[in-house]
Amino acid sequence: MRGFQSKASEVRRAVERLSDAGIVERVRLGPVDKETRPPGGKVVVTVTVAGRSPETRYREIQDLVEQAGITDVALRFEHSGV
């Protein structure tokens, strides 16, 4: 479980700039079970994105995670409703 939590922490650090700007509201570990876990042994990390069109930020967030060299992570996005 600690390894999973560290992946969420890595993603949180990678998107810190967007978090400080109020674009990313929350980063948390996704459900950890065999049924919801994506193939390939990746860890699900859920990113809550604020704004009227949060989907426009998804690619930017993915790019930041990739640039940080974070591997074995499947990002899941959700809209905060704000």
| Domain CATH code at residue 10 | 3.30.300.90
Residue 8 lies in domain: 2-79
pLDDT band, residue 76 (cuts 50/70/90): very high
Count of structural domains within the chain: 1
Instruction: State the average pLDDT over residues 51-73.
Output: 93
Residue pLDDT, tens place only, 3-40: 677 889 999 999 999 999 999 999 998 876 666 556 67
pLDDT score for 82: 67
The pTM (predicted TM-score) of the whole model is 0.85
Are 6 and 28 in contact, with CB atoms under 8 Å apart?
no
On the 0-12 / 13-18 / 19+ scale of CB atoms within 10 A, 34 is exposed
Are 7 and 43 in contact, with CB atoms under 8 Å apart?
yes
